[in-house]
Amino acid sequence: MSDDLEMQYEVARSRPEAFYERFDRKDELQHQTHYCPGCGHGIIHKMVAQAIDELGIQNRTILISPVGCSVFAYYYFDVGNVQAAHGRAPAVATAVKRSRSQSIVISYQGDGDLSAIGSAEILHAANRGENISVIFVNNAIYSMTGGQVAPTTLLGQRSTTTPEGRSAEREGYPLRVSELLGALEAPVYIERVGIGDNKQIAQAYRAVRKAIENQVRGLGFSLVEILSTCPTIWKMSPVESQRWVHDVMEKTFPLGLIRERTKDAQPHETPAPAPADLRKVLGIADQARIVPHQVAKSATNLQVRVAGFGGQGVLLLGEILAEAGLNAGLEVSWLPSYGPEMRSGTSNCHVRISSEPIDSPLVTRPDVLVAMNEPSLHKFYESVPPGGWVLYNRDAMPGECKRTDLNVLARPFTQIAKDLGDARTGNMIMLGALIECTGAVPWQSVDAALRQMIKSEKWLELDRRALARGRELMREPVEEAVHEG
């Protein structure tokens, strides 16, 4: 090594520039995606972003995001975006590409989106040979909606709608979309790849890059099918999920090139239509004035807001409370409000229990706020009217929550649940405390609701213990809190 040269570490691979620096979607966790740990979408997003960087096309890329967990692609990719209706991404991509022929249009779709509800759109876009790039993420199931059978589900594979496994007689055979499209004349490039091991991941990246590069060169329709993972719905660890792609999925969906005509393809462009006076063409008149509804006086009975991270049992807590209200002969409403993610997103629900008919299921001024984490507390703290209750999942309220006109029970419910047998029953401890402090529903109807909702004996037992513990916590004298402090 000469004196003028020295060995230094240089950044070889880092966060692609096609991603935003911060993700606006949430108040917190702005540097993380909403995907579950080990999600295949994260890996494939990174491949797309990396390819956009390498091809230098960030300024003219327009991503069409689908319906499914990847609906939020627009929060992550710093490119143009149109979010399409379920399955319609190839049709929207066609419109975008034809009206802006210099843009690079990437249709990103899952298997539920592309192969079921959107089977017509992809078929015809491919048949027209639209000069677009399609990234088809196939994980053999509907994940965002909780694991229903998809056209791509493997024979014998269990799902919520094929509890005994998919059977060819009942649900048909797994749909091999790439082979189907490979029977058409127009497509120039179709390849199936996977993310089952390092070799597959490296090949998947090459294919994603190639599908996009083909469009840059104006060659025509390109599609990459990627056998991907869903650790959450498959109920496997991320590493097990990758092996499943490699060992099981690949048998039904063989990897490899299905169409390769890029060498013979001639660059071409579909001319954009001349802009017309849309208003005139469509005959749009003045928009009709929207008359606001009369707002009825709200009922005065119990209004509850339950909030936390997805997976903490927020919705179940509310549901059991509402079910208990029904059992007690009351009017009830339960309104869940959550993002498409299975875990780690925010989740909350509105519950109303009333002796009068309920006008709206919305709870904007909760008598009781159940906050299962700090962001939820901050979000709804000010909405609790004076004299209301706050149940908070920590041993003390944060310093900035200083209101003196509220009743507060701050306890580490999750930890208490863990000591009791399972951390996941923290929600039931909080429910026990809630029922004890409001007295809105009798305990018998709560127990009946529990029996209706909880099917496993083991969990019924755990949840009963948790409810009882919550009741005790609410009855415990205040002095204990002073000792803890």
Partner 1 sequence: MTNPEKRNSKPDRGSISIDEEECKGCGLCVEACPTDVLHLSEHINHYGYPSATYMGAGCTGCGICFLACPEPGAITVLRLARRPSGTVIAEHMGELAS
Size of the site for partner 1 (CB under 8 A): 45
Nearest approach, Cβ of residue 1 and partner 1 (Å): 7
The window from 152-160, 231-239, 281-289, 422-430 that contacts partner 1 (CB under 8 A) reads 231-239
Determine if 345 is a binding residue for partner 1 (CB under 8 A): no
Q: Are 84 and 64 in contact (CB under 8 A)?
A: yes
Residue written as token pair 């706050």: 390
Determine if 22 is a binding residue for partner 1 (CB under 8 A): no
Determine if 38 is a binding residue for partner 1 (CB under 8 A): yes
Nearest approach, Cβ of residue 425 and partner 1 (Å): 18
Cα separation, 23 vs 27, in Å, equals 9
- Contact track, partner 1, 199-228, x by CB under 8 A: --xx--x-----------------------
Task: Tell me whether residue 15 or residue 170 sits nearer to partner 1 (CB atom).
Answer: 15
Contact residues for 165 (Cβ-Cβ < 8 A; gap 6+): 155, 156, 157, 158
The window from 7-15, 98-106, 385-393, 466-474 that contacts partner 1 (CB under 8 A) reads 7-15
Cα separation, 392 vs 369, in Å, equals 8
Among 48, 49, 177, 371, binds partner 1 (CB under 8 A): 49
Determine if 479 is a binding residue for partner 1 (CB under 8 A): no
Nearest approach, Cβ of residue 74 and partner 1 (Å): 14
Q: Is 160 helix (H, G, I), strand (E, B) or coil?
A: coil
* DSSP H or E run through 97: helix 89-99
Nearest approach, Cβ of residue 202 and partner 1 (Å): 7
- Contact track, partner 1, 54-83, x by CB under 8 A: ----------------------x-------
Q: Which two tokens stand for residue 165?
A: 């496994």
What is the b/e burial string over 23-56, where b = at least 16 CB atoms within 10 angstroms of the residue's CB? bebeeeeeeebbbbebbbbbbbbbbbbbbbeebe
Cα separation, 313 vs 307, in Å, equals 9
* DSSP H or E run through 244: helix 238-244
Cα separation, 209 vs 192, in Å, equals 13
Number of C-alpha atoms within 13 angstroms, CB side, residue 294?
A: 2
Nearest approach, Cβ of residue 50 and partner 1 (Å): 8
Task: Tell me whether residue 74 or residue 334 sits nearer to partner 1 (CB atom).
Answer: 74
Contact residues for 296 (Cβ-Cβ < 8 A; gap 6+): 359
Q: Which two tokens stand for residue 356?
A: 């009068």
Among 37, 156, 385, 398, binds partner 1 (CB under 8 A): 37
Q: Is 113 helix (H, G, I), strand (E, B) or coil?
A: helix
Task: Tell me whether residue 31 or residue 217 sits nearer to partner 1 (CB atom).
Answer: 31
Task: Tell me whether residue 20 or residue 338 sits nearer to partner 1 (CB atom).
Answer: 20
Q: Which residues bind partner 1 (CB under 8 A)?
A: 1, 3-16, 19, 29, 31-33, 35-43, 45-47, 49-50, 76, 198, 201-202, 205, 231, 237-239, 242, 344
